[in-house]
Amino acid sequence: MTHFSRRSFIAASALAAGAMALPSAGRAAAPLARAQGPGAYRYKLGQFELTALYDGTWFLPIDGKFVRNASGGAVNAALAKAFLPPNILPISFTALLVNTGKQLVLIDTGSAGQLADTAGFMNANLAAGGVKAGDIDTILISHFHPDHIDGLKTKDGDKVFPNAQIFVPEPEWTFWMDDGNQSRASGSVLGYFRNARRIFADIAKEAQRFKPGAELVPGIVSLPAYGHTPGHTAFAIHSGNQSLLAMSDTVRNPELFARHPDWQPIFDMDGALSVKTRRRMLDRAAADRMLVEAYHFPFPACGHMVKTATGYELVPSMWQPL
Amino acid sequence: MTHFSRRSFIAASALAAGAMALPSAGRAAAPLARAQGPGAYRYKLGQFELTALYDGTWFLPIDGKFVRNASGGAVNAALAKAFLPPNILPISFTALLVNTGKQLVLIDTGSAGQLADTAGFMNANLAAGGVKAGDIDTILISHFHPDHIDGLKTKDGDKVFPNAQIFVPEPEWTFWMDDGNQSRASGSVLGYFRNARRIFADIAKEAQRFKPGAELVPGIVSLPAYGHTPGHTAFAIHSGNQSLLAMSDTVRNPELFARHPDWQPIFDMDGALSVKTRRRMLDRAAADRMLVEAYHFPFPACGHMVKTATGYELVPSMWQPL
């Protein structure tokens, strides 16, 4: 065969195939799948088996006010550096399942499709990972924003994880369930108050309040990480000689808030305290070369942090067999 | 609740739960899954639907001679920078399925478990993506190394893709199927000659040879990318106003060979020509901000390349809904 145009190539191929028609010629058009593949990524941590569970991505239109202390131009430049289009923030949701060998622990619960059409796949991905919702016996909640707690209940108010003991940060509960605080709230924050009541009011007795700092399950220690919300909590997971720092929302999109740790997204309720918490945690993660995980990191949402001259870079974990 | 040790916390929890035992107390140990989740990631390119199919990872023990022109210490430093252990190269395999809406095209075929226990999952992931092997009507082969062609046949010599028309680069065929060339080979390269015959000898009439540069399927153009092997081929995929550059083995592990494009792995048969091809392709990808894909990039093996002062960085695509 010599070099040829597409037309002559097809002719030449047909010739080479002799009387036989090319298989593609007589075949019906292949149907498009029109759906993403499963998002359940498993990795070992000592004796524990961890599963990153992709819930979806919320494509949030943003304007020049999304980061309180950075211009819309600077934010769009950071998005462009990550090969992302301007004025839209892709907010990825990934929950973390920890099988300690004795307990099946879920950290945060996904959005259950109550936030965006492009999210709410966590339970399907849990099933793809071979786990039933009824198998989960412990749920740890980092904070009360809807994308972290909505998965606890269906839109109709039914429990999604009927056998799970739910642990919530005490300062988070105290803040969001306080009627005085709610009476002073407005806009989206008022929505968060109402949503927290929708989820928790009738299971108040079952939800175990914990003080951040406590070990909640053997090997899983809660860590105060206040700022994003008043009781926002991270988790350190230890097994054998390995550790992982589950940062929750301490660092959101890494292309914005790891690279620019001082930037304050409007979702950080106390911007200055959030920056302090973020820098402290990222410094620790980078200095100790810790494996980290964060709810809004791109799936599978785990990797390592490297300190640079101006901020931090996420080095995503390489997808591997278990 | 106040701050407490693990012991006092458990006691306090039990107290808070009243007479009710904590659910975790009476529950049987959760069984570990001991298997990775599915690896099938779908993305759109114009009207085409692409699926990255993870085949697995070959953990290759390497010594100071793996990169011809870099010391073992320099290679280990590059691995450490990527948070990978020394002296082991994790070589990931990801094949690419392209549904053009008319044809179902597979680019390279995985290892079919004939190379390492930790690889050979491509067909399971094809099934996870909702596609049967018999549905594939076109296979494009980049080159004749075993990890790219072994998936065409089972160990017993049966065809895995019974309905597929197979396209192979003419210079690759000419080189590997030449008895004179084989007679001069030794070691692992001799193994590659024998393996190419095992795969292709009895389907020689069916395998369509093409000259790199030809458009093989409407929207998929082959590109000569010689050096890694004599007929090594890349592919440009175009649909609507979007393009993707499937680089095959032009760039292998990005943490080594994108960051250090002049490094010559022993798998590059013509090291100097490979470097020239690699730099030319990476320059084009970076300058045009092209979406790229490569067989040995970490799954899902797609992203963009950025030129740095010393080499190139992969910016992995963010996992998203379709």
pLDDT digits (tens, 9 = 90+) for A142-185: 999 999 999 999 999 999 999 999 999 999 999 999 999 999 99
Residue B1 lies in a domain: no
Cα gap A5→A10, rounded to integer Å: 9
Residue A19 lies in a domain: no
Q: Which two tokens stand for residue A170?
A: 């005490």
- Would you state the pLDDT for residue A30? 76
A-B contacts (CB, under 8 Å): 218
| Residue ranges in chain B modelled with pLDDT below 70 | 1-28
Residue A175 lies in a domain: yes
Residue A6 lies in a domain: no
Nearest CA-CA distance, residue A155 and chain B, Å: 22
Instruction: Say if the Cβ atoms of B57 and A320 lie within 8 Å.
Output: yes
Average pLDDT over residues A17-36: 54
Residue A27 lies in a domain: no
- Whether the per-residue pLDDT at A73 is higher than 80: the answer is yes
- Would you state the pLDDT for residue A3? 33
> What are the tens digits of pLDDT across the range A185-221?
999 999 999 999 999 999 888 899 999 999 999 999 9
- Would you state the pLDDT for residue A156? 92
Chain B residues with CB-CB distance to A215 below 8 A: 5-6, 9
> What are the tens digits of pLDDT across the range B245-266?
999 999 999 999 999 999 999 9
- Own/partner long-range contacts of B85-90 (Cβ < 8 Å, ≥24 apart): B87/B61, B87/B62, B87/B63, B88/B59, B88/B60, B88/B61, B88/B62, B89/B59, B89/B60, B89/B62, B89/B253, B89/B256, B90/A318, B90/A320, B90/B57, B90/B58, B90/B59, B90/B60, B90/B253
Which one of B79, B319, B320, B322 makes the best mutation probe of the A interface by having the most chain A beta carbons within 10 Å?
B319
Residue of A nearest to B254 (CA): A318
Residue B301 lies in a domain: yes
Residue of B nearest to A13 (CA): B208
Facing residue for A102 by CB, picked from B30, B90, B125:
B30
Q: Which domain holds residue A82?
A: 37-316
Instruction: Say if the Cβ atoms of B319 and A304 lie within 8 Å.
Output: no
Choice between A128 and A226, residue whose per-residue pLDDT is larger: A226
Whether A117 and A102 have beta carbons less than 8 Å apart is answered as no
Instruction: Say if the Cβ atoms of A99 and B22 lie within 8 Å.
Output: no
Average pLDDT over residues A128-137: 92
Facing residue for A214 by CB, picked from B4, B208, B289:
B4
B234: β partners: B223
Q: How many domains does chain A have?
A: 1
Instruction: Say if the Cβ atoms of A30 and B137 lie within 8 Å.
Output: yes
Residue B25 lies in a domain: no
CATH number assigned to the domain comprising residue B227: 3.60.15.10
- Would you state the pLDDT for residue B199? 97
Residue given tokens 């786990």 in the structure block: A131
- Would you state the pLDDT for residue B28? 55
pLDDT band with cut points at 50, 70 and 90 for residue A2 = very low
Cα gap A87→A61, rounded to integer Å: 6
Q: What is the pTM of this model?
A: 0.90
Chain A residues with CB-CB distance to B49 below 8 A: 32-34
Instruction: Say if the Cβ atoms of B42 and A35 lie within 8 Å.
Output: yes
- Would you state the pLDDT for residue B25? 35
Chain B residues with CB-CB distance to A16 below 8 A: 208
- Whether the per-residue pLDDT at A5 is higher than 70: the answer is no
pLDDT band with cut points at 50, 70 and 90 for residue A233 = very high
Residue A16 sits at φ, ψ, to 5 deg, of -60, -35
Instruction: Say if the Cβ atoms of A163 and B137 lie within 8 Å.
Output: no
Residue B283 lies in a domain: yes
Cis peptide before B146 (omega within 30 of 0): no
